[in-house]
Chain A
Amino acid sequence: MVTKSDESAELRELIARVSRQVARRTAQPRADLAAIVAAEVTAALGATAAGQARAPAAPSSDLPVAVRAELCASCLEQERRKVGRRAVVTTTGKNRKGIVANIARAIADAGGDILDISQTLVADYFTMIMIIDLTGLEVPFTELKARLTEMVRALGAECLVMHEDVVTALQRV
């Protein structure tokens, strides 16, 4: 059961996250940019919420079945797109200082978001697998791929970047 306070905590979290993203993407951000954006958005939302309180919105269960089905379908589609916008980056090679940092920086510079990392080290050889979110990617996917491959190769390791659909298709029935 989701309580009201849970909801508002979640909302605050969301606003903070969005604000941090906005600040990160701005060329020369003020130190307090995230706080300013967060305050603005919260205020704007408060106004809307007040408006809604006067004319309560119909609960979703009152929506016609067809509309709900459509909403559901579009959510699914959105979910699919979101999922379809993730890539798997695998790096293999001899361990070297700074390699993870370099890859992470290259991904961040391109606007990618690292969702998950797993790393295994056997003797001096490592395999690192990163799942990255491409939703906010600011360069074409092929460009990111080229940058990563080139940079990793310069460090003496190998890197393969692929759409996550490949892993899902091959490894899930």
Chain B
Amino acid sequence: MADAGVNVKTVNLTIEGRPVTVPDGTSILEAAKMAGVLIPHYCYHPGLPVAGVCRMCLVEVEKFPKLAPSCATSVGEGQVVHVHSPKALEARKGVLEFLLINHPLDCPICDQAGECELQDYTFAEGRADSRYREPKRFNPVEDFGGDVLYVQNRCILCTRCVRFMDDVAKDPVLNVSERGDRAFIGKAEGHDLTNPWAGNVVDLCPVGALLSKDFLNKARAWELDRAPSVCTGCSQGCNIVIDTRDNVAVRMRPRPNADVNQYYMCEVGRAGYREFNRRDRVEQPMVRNGHTLRIADWEDAITAAARALAGQRLMVLVSPNLSNETLFLVERLVAHANGQAAFRVDTGDEVALPGVPDLALRSERAANATAARQFGFAQLASAQLSLRDGDALLVVGEQLDGIDVADLDRASTIVHIGTTLPDVLAARANVVLPIANISEEEGTLTNLRGRVQRFLQAKAAPGLARPSWYVMADLLAAAGGEGQYFSPADVFDALSVTHAPFATLSYERLGLLGLPVLSPEIASAEVSG
């Protein structure tokens, strides 16, 4: 046990023959995890209050008169616990049989197939046949509102969803209704799962009883590729997984991070996957020739871009959803050219998840405004760019929604680095350089608390689009700036050398859970909540 302090009492016990030492008060189930033993379970979840109702986690503890529910039983000194003894296996087999007697044979049409805990444990430890000869219970499907569909037939009444809404979302809109085998998850008329955090019940549900309407029938779990990433819906920086099928993003799910989002993410974040699949992408570099933008090769386009920006006052408008690496390279360019950079951020209502400390859908609806501020970029309060006549404008990642066109016309040249080509630039941009979106490249982001977290590539960028840091690095070099970067890690290393808070950091050190880097005061400047 590490630096837990001298006052933490520990308990020694043996689980499946493995000795393990854990803090006093730990449940046998958690102690087993620490010993590397998985005790099958349904209703238990580390983020929820213990219920102890599914009875799947029963283990044999020597000298106990009955099997013990390991999620609800504390460790005791010297206990000898058997997870796979004949008695425990038989008990679990019994639970599985009971769960399956009314459970419909929906696997072929059920979204959960392939990532279903009922399938998993039944395959591992359940009966090969069914002894049930009676008609199965049948109930219709119910729309719970929001993104959630409730397929009552498949429900195993683990009550994770009810406990989540009660204790974590603190919005008790779900209940257990009726009694006995008539019981089901219910809600009150007119009170739906419209809470922005309600979609987490779909992740929590161990079976296919609670489903995402958005994801319904879109893909099979085994067809999906998964990449760890960070949500860009707001500045909270929830850790996520982006699921893709054939290079199309189909779903985003939370990835556990005890220091950021525990096990959850909100609906605004989840809906963000659609943005990754936009079809109106710029796929080739383009250079203006007269009235039209013509396709060019990368080398020519970069050269044209550097030439277009040279010799004038440089103004860079960046998206606050660009990675630390890309923003760092923008900062280098701005310093080299003695220019300025700015960004705009959308805001919305903040919605906290009350049961988790410091977790909310943040009012700042962008993932990396903290870094943008850190690099000295100005936050624009309005759609006014404050360009001076003759400025060179470099737009990186910004969609220019609501931008004053007259403002744009002040620029003498415009270079656009982006995923799409906004209409207002189709007639004005001198050079267009296509880049990957956040799901198509690798990098890091800094959340509102100054935590730096890595995101990995989930799918391939279309056409000839390149990672944003790559394009910025080339542009910087073409403009005469210093540094050669062959990977995002190289950029990050350079960033860590020049920016004190990032010193000693590396991708290895950051891992997939990130590290707190900037002090909260710096990070939270100008951020509410």
Q: Do A and B bind each other?
A: no
Q: Which residues of B does A touch, CB under 8 Å? A: none
